[in-house]
Amino acid sequence: MPGAADLPGPVETAASVDRSRRRRGVVLVLAHTLWLWLLLPPATAIVRGQVHPVTVAAVGLALFALLYLALVAVPVAGLAVRPALHHAGLALLALLGVALAAAYAGASEGWLALLMYVCSAGAVGLVQVGWGFGWVGGSVVAVLVIGGARRLPADNTAQIALITLLAGAMTLAFARVARLVDELRRTQRELARTVVERERLRFAKDLHDLLGHTLSLVVVKAEVVRRLAPTDPQRATVEAADIERIGRTALAEVREAVTGYREHSFSRELDNARTVLADVGITVAVRTAGQLDVETDDVFAWVLREGVTNVLRHSRASRCDIEVDTDAGGSMLTVRDNGVGGRPTFGNGLRGLTERLEQAGGTLEVGPARGGGLLLTVRVSTSRIARVTG
């Protein structure tokens, strides 16, 4: 189990990510204003009085430039604008650009370039790919139609149409890549949060399984000491020393769990089970066959710990049989006692075991044993382990 040093660092919050994105977006929009140099020919024509009426052309061109920058800032800077309002702004930009180009394209050069800005604004602002391609195609058609209607040179019109097409296609590609990068970053943040949550849950399960068993054993030992103290003080002293040993062992296990160096093997749990059950007067019979793989060894260790804890707490048994069978198909562990039996309720312990077994591709069955008592059976398939760990 990873230690504290292996846990992921603080997960970046969505608010900090949004602020960082807005700052980058503002910088990009400011840098984007450099592209407005293509509007210098229409602006020069207005200053020289080559278009009429001059006031309408000047106001229209200024409004067009400001609207274009505002519409680009919405997706680039991640501004909170309703899609309907953004789409209305795109429609207004398209109408204004087409109107200015159609009105003044024959009077001076550069007015068809407005449709390149219309094309780019729609390509970067429309999320659905189909709408983006349609917008780019419509912009190119508008260039060709206005150029033909105003009898502009064919080569000039074709050149602007090609530039508009290329600008729109590149903008669509860059916008798509930017959205994919944003989705990837969101996915990474979600994965980081999931890793932290799963690690916390796993750590909590480990501590529960460690301390639940140990504290149950301490309670049983304390009851033995209480009963022996009046009649057999020497035996009570031995049991009290055993409680101290168990407490020190539990403290060491918790420290090892926190630092990530705990050795938790089935053979160790089997030895602990023999000692613990024998100490409280329960006869233990163990039969093992075959060698467990690493995944099954870890799972069976937790299952045995929880099974022995249930025997100590609830069974009032005098005998406990532990059997392990392993073959090519998988492994099976059974823990059977001759106690009161019944069907145990699924508390945190059994629920935690079920989740562990699901992750390892195993199954857990708990119910009355034939002849009385309780039977706990765990099966782990070799093929399912291979799929989980592969």
DSSP string, 212-275: HHHHHHHHHHHHHHHHHTTT-HHHHHHHHHHHHHHHHHHHHHHHHHHHT-----HHHHHHHHHH
Position 284 in a domain? yes
Determine the pLDDT at residue 36: 80
Q: Where among 144, 159, 191 does a domain terminate?
A: 191
Closest residue by Cα to residue 282 from 197, 224, 205, 215? 224
Report pLDDT digits (tens) over 171-180.
Answer: 888 888 878 8
pLDDT recorded at residue 27: 66
Quote the pTM value. 0.47
Which of the listed residues 162, 191, 220 is the one where a domain comes to its end? 191
Question: Is 313:287 a contact under the CB 8 Å cutoff?
Answer: no
pLDDT band at 322 (very low <50, low <70, confident <90, very high): very high
**C-alpha distances in angstroms, 182 versus 10, 176, 187, 224?**
19, 10, 9, 63
Q: What is the pLDDT of residue 23?
A: 66
Say if residue 270 is in the same domain as residue 134: no
> What mean pLDDT is predicted for residues 190-195?
68
Q: What percent of the chain has pLDDT over 90?
A: 14
DSSP state for residue 311 in the 8-state scheme: I
Helices (H) and strands (E) in the chain, counts: 12, 5
**Residue 89 forms part of a structural domain:** yes
- Domain of residue 181 covers 4-191
Provide the 10 A C-beta neighbour count for residue 47. Answer: 10
Structure confidence at residue 264 (pLDDT): 57
Rg (CA), the chain: 38
- The stretch 281-310 carries a mean pLDDT of 84
Is there a domain that residue 132 lies in?
yes
Task: Supply the pLDDT for residue 93.
Answer: 92
pLDDT digits (tens, 9 = 90+) for 48-77: 888 888 899 999 999 998 998 888 888 777
| Final residue in a domain of this structure, among 138, 158, 191 | 191
**Number of folded domains in the chain?**
2
